[in-house]
Structure 1
C-alpha cells in the first residue's frame, strides 16, 4: 500500500520514551507524512485511505541491529560454513537470515563482515523489491592483519598501501562503512589473542583518514584496552565489543571512557540472546567485573547501541529481545533500551531518516502487542512490520 493510516493505543515517537496516547501514523509513498492523535488524523485523512487499526498495541520505530554477520550461520563452526559454501547457497541463506531479522522487528541491520560483497548484492535485491528484508548497511570485507581475526573473509593487509587499496576496493564494491578488526578475536584459532592489537596507532589513523576520503565512517572491533584507546584517538565512529581485555583480565580506564563520550563514539557491546550462558562460562568474578564496567560506562554517559553479533556461534538471527534483556538485568530502563535500538542506533550509523517517528522520516516502523516501555517482552509480539512503508509482516502472512 502506498498510503495508510496506522492507529494504536500508543505511538512511541522517540527518543526517551516520548509517546502519543491513542495515536496514529500516516504513511505515504514510503515516508511518514504525519504523526498525532488518532482523533485528529482520522478526521483529516481522506476516507478512502486504508486504516490499519491495532487495539491494545504500540506503534514504534523499527528496530536496528547494529552488528550482524549475515554470512555466518550461528552454528558451532561458522568459519567453515562460510568458506565451504558456494555463492548461490550462501546468498540464499543470507536472504533467509535477513528475513528472520525482519520478522523479529528489525528493519535495519549493519552487516560488519561478509564474503564476496554478498551483503551488498542482497541490499540491492531488497532495495529493488525483488526480495523482502531489512535495510542493510554493509561494511563488506573487514580489514585485518595477516593471519588475523576473520582473515578468511579476504581482508588481510600488512602495509599502508595495502590498507589504502583494500579500503578503495570496499568503497568501489558499495560499502557503507569500513570495518577494522583492530584487535584479535575468538573466532579465529591461531590468530592474535582478543586483547592483542592487530594494527599500530598510526595504521588505525590511516584507516580512518582513508575511509573518510571515500566518505565512509569506521567501525572498530576492539577488545583490548590499549586498542580501544587507539581506536578512540584515531577517530572511529563505533567500537564493537569494547570489553577492556588485557592478558591479566579486565582493565577498565575511565579516562578512555571520557574520550569516548567527548568524541561521540558509540559502543556496541554485541550481546546475543545466550548471554546467561556466556556469563556462566566467564566465571563469577570476571562476569561481575564486566557488568560493573558497563554500568560505570553508562553512568559516564556512553551511548550504547543495540547489536546481537548474529551469526557467530550461539547468536541466533531471531532473538533480538534476548540481547536487550541483558541490559535490563543491569538496570537499564525500557526507554533507554528502546533508544539504543532506534534513535541512538540511527545516530551511530549516520542514518538521518530513521530511528524516530516524525514527518519526513522513512516509514520503517513496527506494531507490537502491549507496551514495550513497561514490558520488554512486548517486542516479541510483533503484529506488523513496515519497511519504507511496505508491509513486510502481517497477521495473515506471518
Structure 2
C-alpha cells in the first residue's frame, strides 16, 4: 500500500474552499480528508498552496496521440473528454492505454460523431463515417458507439457556412431520437453548434449539452432561458473562439514561463505561431470576443451550467495553438473575465464536467474518490492565474514528473 499525505493545505474540493486541511491518499484513492497524522510514505507540505481535484477538459481532440494525454497531465488535466475520435480500433487502443497508465491523462471519448448524409464530416471522410439518415437509424448508431466504448454521443450541427459550403442539418425528430437513444444507453449528448441558429436547434431538440458559442452575435435571452429551464449545459470553448477572432490575445500564454517552460518544442511552436484547427476558415463578419463573452454573461446570470472545455486539438504533427493542458488555464482566465468568480470557474473545470459526463469517481476531493489531484502555489479561488503555478500533479495517487520542455511523460 502506497500512502501520500498532503498537510496544512488549502483545499478546493470541487465546490468550496477550506483552509489548513489535510488529505491522505492510499493506493490511488482518497482515504481521508482532514485529521491526517503520520504514517505516510510521501509527506507533502501544502503551506501557502491549494489542492484541487484533477482538472477535466470537457472538449478536446486527442487525434490518437498519447503524447497529447501526457501533455495534458503535466498541466493538471487528469481527464480529457475527446469529442471526435476515429477510427474505432485506434480509439479503443488509446482508451485502454489511457486507463492503464498513470503518467497520462485518462481519455473519455465520443468516438465517431453523428452526422447526416451530405454533411461536411461525411464529405471529408466519404464512406468512413456512419451517417444517421432519419430518426429510425438513431438507436443503431448509438448502440454501435456504445459497443466501441464511447462515453458520450457527439452530434454535428453545422450547415457549412463557416467553411464556404451549404450542407444538410439534422431535423428535430432525428435529434430527439438520438437524444432518447443516448439516454436509454446512459450516455449524455453533446451538440457541435456553429452559430446562433444551430445552438437554438440543439436546445429545442433537448440535447444535453451544446459546445461552442456564436462568434458574430450574442445568444438570445429566449435561448438562454430555454437552456436554463431544461437543465441543459454549454461548453463554450472560449480559448479557440479567441484564436478565431483575436489570435494575438490567446498567444499570450507563450509569454508566461509557468506555461512556456513546460511545453515541448512542437507545442511551444504551435502556441506561438500555429494556425491549424481553429474551427472556422474565417470568422463571420461582425465577430468579436465581446459578443462571445456577452453570451457567457447571459448564460451565467440565467444559471445555465457552463463547463470548461478548450477544443484543444494540437498534436506533434498538427500546429493548433489551442494546446492540450496549457489551454485550460487560458479558458479559466476567460471564464473569470466573463463574470464567473474564480471558485465558479474552478467548479466548471472539476465537479461539474465530472457530473455531466457521468464520471462519478472524480472531479471532487472526498473520501473514496480517485486521487486525481493538482497542487498549486497560491490561492486560485482569489487569483485564477494561480492554477498555472503547479507544484504537483497526481493521477490515481501517482505523482507526475513535470520536466521543463519535456512534459509528455510517454
| TM > 0.5 | yes
The partner residue of 2:352 within 325, 331, 344 is: 344
Q: 1:391 to 1:285 in 2, by over 3 A?
A: closer
**8 Å contact kept, 1:65–1:106:** yes
Of the three residues 139, 151, 159, the one matched with 1:176 is: 151
Report the CA distance between 1:144 and its aligned residue: 1.2
Is residue 61–residue 342 contact of structure 1 (8 Å, CA) maintained in 2? Answer: yes
Distance 1:374 1:137, change over 3 A: same
Q: 2:87 aligns to what?
A: 116
1:67 corresponds to which of 59, 62, 67: 59
- Is 1:14 the counterpart of 2:14? The answer is yes
The reply to whether residue 213 of structure 1 matches residue 184 of structure 2 is yes
Answer whether contact 1:33 1:359 (CA < 8 A) is retained. Answer: yes
Partner residue of 2:36?
41
Deviation of the 1:187 alpha carbon: 7.8
TM-score (normalizing by structure 1): 0.82
Spell out the pairing of 1:76-91 with structure 2 (5 A cutoff).
Answer: 91=64
Q: How many Å separate the matches in 1 of 2:68 and 2:226?
A: 36
Indicate how the Cα distance of structure 1 residues 372 and 215 shifts in structure 2: closer, same or farther if over 3 A, else same: same
1:95-151 Cα distance to aligned partner (Å, 9 max, x none): 00111111111011110001112333212112223x731122110000112232433
Q: Please, which of 345, 364, 368 is the counterpart of residue 360 of structure 1? A: 368
**Structure 1 residues 286-342: Cα deviation after superposition (integer angstroms, max 9, x where no partner):** 443332222122111111100000117432223221122222222322111111111
CA distance in 2, matches of 1:296, 1:257: 7
- Between the aligned partners of 1:189 and 1:210, the Cα distance in structure 2 is 32
Equivalent of 2:28, from 27, 30, 52?
30
CA deviations 1:231-280 (Å, max 9, x no partner) are 2233322111142x7xxx52633222222112221110012267266247
Partner residue in 2 for 1:288: 290
Distance 1:9 1:160, change over 3 A: closer
Structure 1 48/265 Cα, relative in aligned 2: closer, same or farther at 3 Å? closer
Greater shift, 53-62 or 271-280, is seen at 271-280
1:358-391 superposed Cα distances (whole Å, 9 cap, x missing partner): 1121111111122111222221122211112222
Equivalent residues of 2:212, 2:236 under 8 A apart: yes
| 1:174-204 alpha-carbon deviations (Å, 9 max, x no partner) | 1111100023467866354xxxx71000000
What is the match of residue 221 of structure 2? 254
Sort the Cα spacing of 1:338 and 1:220 in 2 relative to 1 into closer, same or farther, 3 A: same
- Aligned 8 A contact 2:159 2:169 in 1: yes
* Partner residue in 1 for 2:329: 321
> 1:186–1:175: structure 2 CA closer, same or farther, 3 Å change rule?
farther
> Structure 1 stretches of 5 or more lacking a match?
72-90
Cα separation, 2, equivalents of 1:54 and 1:227: 46
The CA distance in 2 between the partners of 1:325 and 1:9, in whole Å, is 23
Q: Cα distance, 1:62 vs. partner?
A: 0.8
Partner-residue secondary structure (3-state), 2:292:
helix
TM-score, normalised on structure 2? 0.80
Instruction: Say if 1:298 and 1:279 are closer, same or farther in 2 by CA, change over 3 A.
Output: farther
CA contact (8 A) 1:120 1:175 kept: no
1:29 and 1:180 mapped to 2: Cα distance? 38
Aligned pairs, number: 360
Q: Distance in 1 between matches of 2:155 and 2:164?
A: 18
CA contact (8 A) 1:306 1:345 kept: yes
The correspondence for 1:236, drawn from 203, 207, 213, is: 207
Aligned equivalents of 1:307 and 1:252: distance in 2? Answer: 19
In 1, distance between residues paired with 2:48 and 2:403? 15
For 1:158, the equivalent position in structure 2 comes to: 133
CA distance in 2, matches of 1:179, 1:379: 29
How far 1:356 sits from its partner (Å)? 1.4
When residues 224 and 156 of structure 1 are mapped into structure 2, their CA distance, relative to the original with a 3 A threshold, is same
**1:195-214 matches, cutoff 5 A:** 198-214=169-185
When the two chains are superposed, the root-mean-square deviation of aligned CA atoms in Å is 2.7
In 2: Cα distance, 1:284 partner to 1:8 partner:
50
The answer to whether the 8 Å contact 1:222/1:241 transfers is yes
1:184 to 1:95, Cα distance in 2 relative to 1, 3 A: farther
Match of 2:395 among 360, 375, 387: 387
